[in-house]
Structure 1
Amino acid sequence: MVESAFQPFSGDADEWFEEPRPQAGFFPSADWHLLKRDETYAAYAKDLDFMWRWVIVREERIVQEGCSISLESSIRAVTHVLNYFGMTEQRAPAEDRTGGVQH
């Protein structure tokens, strides 16, 4: 009889849970191209020959990443995501507001 290294999943939700590892900061090297920057976010892209990898960074942490077929499509994708981030941040209540909750 051959023993298998495979162990069936018991159904316990914590069985596959891993503690999140802290992300190292993102510091672009010379082969990363700056696509966009504002007061909150910076977006970079890197040519991998078969695709462009792009990342959006906030406070030296990658908050979104993706890939595109060209530099132009990377710029469009990054612009789309940054516009979405801008919309959601505008909807977030300011610190001095109660967010609709009355005290």
Structure 2
Amino acid sequence: MIGWLNIGSLVLGLIAWILPAINITRYEKRSRNWITLSILSLSACSISLFFQIWSLYERVKAEDWSALMDTMSVIASVPAILLIGTIILNGITLYMYRSRTE
């Protein structure tokens, strides 16, 4: 089950970064659903982080201390990069489209 949580987290993390990139590339085409894609991006990031926390919980429940010790640095740093990247990309999208609505 831990493997599926990690794969799901990876896929959702990629979706969280791809959706704002789509918004940024569609800027010239006057995309109207940019808010929806931004909300989906933030939701995908949140679910991805939840999967990482659940994966950590499953390892603690199984008392797999060696796996926890080996992967803790990655479990601490990668979700932070995902969160910061998602916020930056969605912030760029918000800045771009906000100026269009004024």
Q: Would you tell me which structure has more strand in proportion to its own residues? A: 1
Q: Would you tell me which structure has more helix in proportion to its own residues? A: 2
Structure number with higher relative contact order (C-alpha < 8 Å, ≥ 6 residues apart): 2
**Structure label with greater radius of gyration:** 1
TM-score, scaled to structure 1: 0.32
